[in-house]
A = this chain, B = another copy of it.
Amino acid sequence: MKIALDVMGGDHAPQNPMGGVKLALETLPQIEKIFLVGVPELIEQEMHKQGIPASPKLEIVPASQVVDMSDSGLDAVRKKKDSSIARAVDLVKEKTADAVVSAGHTGAAVTASLIKLRTLPHIERPAIASVMPSQTTTWLLIDAGANPDSLPEHLVQNALMGSAYAKHVMGRPNPRVGLMSNGTEEEKGNALCKETAKLLRTTPGINFIGNVEGHDLWETPPDVVVCDGFTGNIILKTSEALAHALFGMIKTEIISSTRTKIGGLLAKPAFKRIHKKTSADEAGGMPLLGLNGITIIAHGGANAYAMKNAIRMACDTISHQVNPHIEAAISQHLLIHAHA
């Protein structure tokens, strides 16, 4: 498998993306090639610093520009034609690489992917799928932020795409799909939600279990939770930040007395296990589904381990043929609708 990596993207670039490359070469034998897209001198410096030897599996692809977080997504793509994310997506477009991985500006990665790769046939909008933790199992949140103003049919497409990913990558034979709402009862929801529920109830090929609410997400979540990108992004960021704040509060309170400090030291292994279970580093990235190509969006603050996992997610998305499965699901959906 051949991965195009946006080496300049992320809060700690090029350090962490290159740290991810080092770990990926050591642990992911399925990798044939990683294209290191960015400013060659900076990449070479970083390789030297981290002791990453030249390898036939690594190839530097020059890109002179870097997208700043202050650029708008569209401006970044329009005005910085030679940015690392644009060049990385080009490699996928021309089939030199199978997937692109970026921890840079999400809007720029989405826009560049949408403009250059286009969507799969009959998919109107791509959606960000985020593998989320819970007490019992993982679940897929879709859309976690690509499309803030979604229509009911976009949400049905999210359900089809999310089901394909859950089935073929996450190994759920008949993925249960819940619709994010402000209550589980059928009459709950905003207008978008109610209209979408009607469609999901009558769409064959989707194992729709009805509305889900916040309380369902962390204990016994369905396999796929469908929502618009505005709601999904708020769930993603709010939850991530709350977990971070709670662990911060625990730390502050624990170091406030000798007794609790000793307690905290003894309990440390328990906290480490929870951190591993809940950390976004384990998934590493979020696939942008619905594209004629594969784009994996890593967290801006991703460390080397998370970047390695984002590269692994790219490999999994390729090897499990997520896109052909999405195309099949959409075709079947359209076929049934045409006959209905």
Contacts and interface: CB of A to CB of B under 8 A. Distances in A.
A40 interface: no
Interface string A61-81: 000000000001000000000
B182 A145 contact: yes
21 contacts: A72-B187, A134-B245, A148-B188, A190-B228, A214-B236, A216-B241, A218-B241, A219-B245, A230-B231, A231-B234, A235-B238, A253-B273, A253-B274, A259-B266, A260-B267, A260-B270, A262-B266, A263-B265, A264-B270, A266-B266, A267-B267
A120 to B, nearest CB: 24
Interface string A208-231: 000001111111000000001111
Interface of A: 72, 134-135, 145, 148-149, 180-183, 185, 187-191, 193, 213-219, 228-231, 233-246, 248-250, 252-254, 256-257, 259-260, 262-271, 273-274, 277-278
Q: List 8 A-B pairs, minimum CB-CB distance, nearest first.
A: A263-B266, A214-B237, A263-B267, A214-B238, A218-B245, A253-B270, A182-B233, A190-B230
Given A245-B134, A253-B274, A214 B190 contact: no
A227 to B, nearest CB: 8
A284 to B, nearest CB: 19
B182 A234 contact: yes
A214 B271 CA distance: 23
Contact of A217 (B187, B242, B248, B266): B242
A266 B240 CA distance: 28
Given A149-B191, A190-B228, A266-B262, A180 B135 contact: no
Contacts of A149: 190-191
Contact of A253 (B148, B254, B271): B271
B237 A215 contact: yes
A73 to B, nearest CB: 8
A267 B254 contact: yes
Contacts of A145: 182
A242 B218 contact: yes
Contact of A264 (B180, B182, B257, B263): B263
